[in-house]
Amino acid sequence: MTTVQPVTLTPRLARLFTRGREFLGVEVPIMCGAMTWISEANLVSLMSNLGAFGSLAAGNMPPDEFESEVRKAQELTARPFAANLITIAPNYLAHLEILCAAKLSHIVFAGSIPRRTEVETAKRSGAKVLCFASNPSIASRMLEYGADALILEGSEAGGHIGHVSTAVLLQDVLFQFADQVPIFVAGGIAHGGMIGHLGLMGAAGAQLGTRFVVAEECKAHPRFKDVFIKARSREAIATPQYSSKLPVVAVRALNNAAMDAFGALQLDLLRKLERGEMNRQEAQYAVEHFWVGSLREGAVEGNVERGSLMAGQSVGLVRKVQPLREILLELIQDADAAVARAQQRLGDGG
C-alpha cells in the first residue's frame, strides 16, 4: 500500500458533491478517466490514495496482463477505483469476467452500449455500474438495464469521442436525469471553476483526462506531456469520416502526421472494401488497431510526430507538469472559489 497524504474537500464542496462522494466511496468525486497506455495501476491507485478516483483502462489488453494490472492496483490501494471496459474490444468479455472475480467496486462500460446481461453480470459481482450516455434515449436504456450512474462525455474530450458537445449534453441529459441517478461529466474540463459550476448544475462529479496526462506521476512520455503543455485548444482536432461505407468513431487528437496517416488508412480501407478484399468488420478492426498502436507510439515511446497525440480541447488550459496532488488541490480550490462566488451573487453567505 502506498502512503500519500489524501486531499480533502471544503465543507461547501463536500455538501455540494455528497451524492458523488457516496456513490464513488471517496472524499473527492473527481475521476481520472481511463486512458489506454496511460491509466495504469500506479496512476489509478495514486489517484484513489489521494482521495479522488482512478479508472484503469482495459483497452484490448491480453486478459492475463489485465488481470495482473487489476491485482496490482488492488495491492497499491485499499480505496475504490474503477476499471473501464471497451465493449467492442475482442477481449472484452474476458475482461468483464476478471473484474467480477476480482470483486471490483466500480465497472465502467465504454466503447459502445453494453448488453443488459453484461450489466447484470457486473452488478451480480457486487460492482456499481457506470455507463456512458450520449443522448436521453441511451440514458433511459442504460438505467433500464440497471446502470447505477451515468457519464456524459462531450465531444471536446480527448480520445474516441461522440458527436455532441458537453454544453448540449448537460441540457439534454444532465438536466433530465440528475434527479434519478448520479451523473459524472467529462469533456473539456481542466479548471476547478468548471467542476464547481457542474456541481451547481446537478452533476455528481467530473471526469478529466487531458489535465491528468501532465501529472508528474503519469507514465506518459515526457515529450508527449511537453506537446500538451505547448498546444492550443484549436489544435486538438477530430478525425473526419470519409464514407458511410466505413463508419469510424471520431478521435480527438493534436494534429500531426498520425492524423494524416489515419486519413490515408481510411482511404486505403475504403478501396479494399470496394474491391471486396476485406469486410467492414475487418476494416473497423484495422482502424482500432491503428489507434492503439499509434497512441502507444506517441504516449509510451514519445514519438510525437508519427504517434497519436490524443488530447481534448482542454489541452489549451493545461500549462505545466505538476504533481497529481497539486493538481487536485488546485481543482478543489478553484471549484470552491467558484461556488463561493455563486453564493455571493445569490446573496447567500453559505
Ligand X SMILES: Cc1cc2nc3c(=O)[nH]c(=O)nc-3n(C[C@H](O)[C@H](O)[C@H](O)COP(=O)(O)O)c2cc1C
Q: Which is nearer to ligand X, 20 or 188 (CB)?
A: 188
Size of the site for ligand X (CB under 6 A): 28
Interface region with ligand X, contact rule CB under 6 A, candidates 5-13, 29-37, 317-325, 336-344: 29-37
Q: Does 266 engage in binding with ligand X (CB under 6 A)? A: no
Cell of 16: 455540494
Q: What is the 3-state secondary structure (H, E, C) of 287-347?
A: HHHHHHHHHHHHHHCCCCCCCCCECCHHHHHCCCCECHHHHHHHHHHHHHHHHHHHHHHCC
* Residue 254: strand, helix, or coil: strand
- ∠ CA 5-7-10, nearest 5°, is 150
**CA–CA distance from 130 to each of 35, 149, 165, 270 (Å)?**
16, 5, 20, 35
Minimum Å gap between C-beta 313 and ligand X is 7
Main-chain phi, psi angles of 93, to 5 degrees: -65, -35
Cell of 118: 453484461
- Mask for 91-110, x = binds ligand X (CB under 6 A): -------------------x
Minimum Å gap between C-beta 9 and ligand X is 20
- Mask for 182-211, x = binds ligand X (CB under 6 A): ----xxxx-----------------xxxxx
Query: What is the gyration radius of the CA atoms in the chain, in angstroms?
Result: 19
Q: Does 303 engage in binding with ligand X (CB under 6 A)? A: no
CA quadruple 246, 290, 207, 238: dihedral sign:
negative
Choosing from 27, 156, 288, 336, the residue that interacts with ligand X (CB under 6 A) is 156
Interface region with ligand X, contact rule CB under 6 A, candidates 141-149, 279-287, 306-314, 328-336: 306-314
Interface region with ligand X, contact rule CB under 6 A, candidates 3-11, 43-51, 153-161, 323-331: 153-161
Q: Which is nearer to ligand X, 76 or 213 (CB)?
A: 213
Interface region with ligand X, contact rule CB under 6 A, candidates 28-36, 66-74, 123-131, 329-337: 28-36
Choosing from 310, 327, 335, 339, the residue that interacts with ligand X (CB under 6 A) is 310
Choosing from 33, 114, 162, 192, the residue that interacts with ligand X (CB under 6 A) is 33
Q: Does 297 engage in binding with ligand X (CB under 6 A)? A: no
Q: How far apart are CA 55 and CA 279, in angstroms?
A: 34
| Site residues (CB under 6 A) for ligand X, limited to 42-61 | 57, 59
Q: Does 35 engage in binding with ligand X (CB under 6 A)? A: yes
Minimum Å gap between C-beta 130 and ligand X is 10
Q: How far apart are CA 262 and CA 268, in angstroms?
A: 10
* Long-range contacts, stretch 270-273, CB < 8 angstroms, 24+ apart: 270/242, 270/243, 270/245, 270/246, 273/245, 273/246
Chain contacts with ligand X (rule: CB under 6 A): 33-36, 38, 57, 59, 84, 110, 153, 156-159, 186-189, 207-211, 213, 310-312, 314
